[in-house]
Amino acid sequence: MKRALMMNDEDNVATALEQLEGGVPATAILPSQDVFKQVTPEKTIPSGHKLAVKEIPKGDHVVKYGLVIGNAIRDISLGDHVHVHNVMSNRMQMPEVWYREGVDR
């Protein structure tokens, strides 16, 4: 099964270690290589991108490394791609041109 890595068991996102296919279950592992849970991506998740391993309601913290990396700007479901289209920094916003080229916010 393809793998996604969580850096801390408090995290609500995991990083895809290879491209994950939509609808095909993948394993979310911890740095110890222990399996945290199985999660089915909503759609293709490119290698290095994140998917939700827990529900993240709009306004809640997105957590990686056990620390806050931003806030959900819409409801995020289990298995959703988590990136600039549904997360915003609490500190500094990057130039809009970068996310227009990626995914519309």
- 59 sits near another protein (criterion: CB under 8 A): no
Q: Give the range of 20-28, 35-43, 63-71, 72-80 binding another protein by CB under 8 A.
A: 63-71
**What is the full DSSP assignment across 41-69?**
-SS-B-TT-EEESS-B-TTSEEEETTEEE
- 64 sits near another protein (criterion: CB under 8 A): yes
- 54 sits near another protein (criterion: CB under 8 A): no
Nearest to 40 by CA among 28, 32, 49: 28
Taking CB under 8 A as the criterion, the residue among 23, 38, 65, 75 binding another protein is: 65
Q: How many CB atoms lie within 10 A of CB 61?
A: 14
Taking CB under 8 A as the criterion, the residue among 24, 25, 67, 77 binding another protein is: 67
- 34 sits near another protein (criterion: CB under 8 A): no
Instruction: Find out whether 49 and 27 touch, Cβ atoms under 8 Å.
Output: no
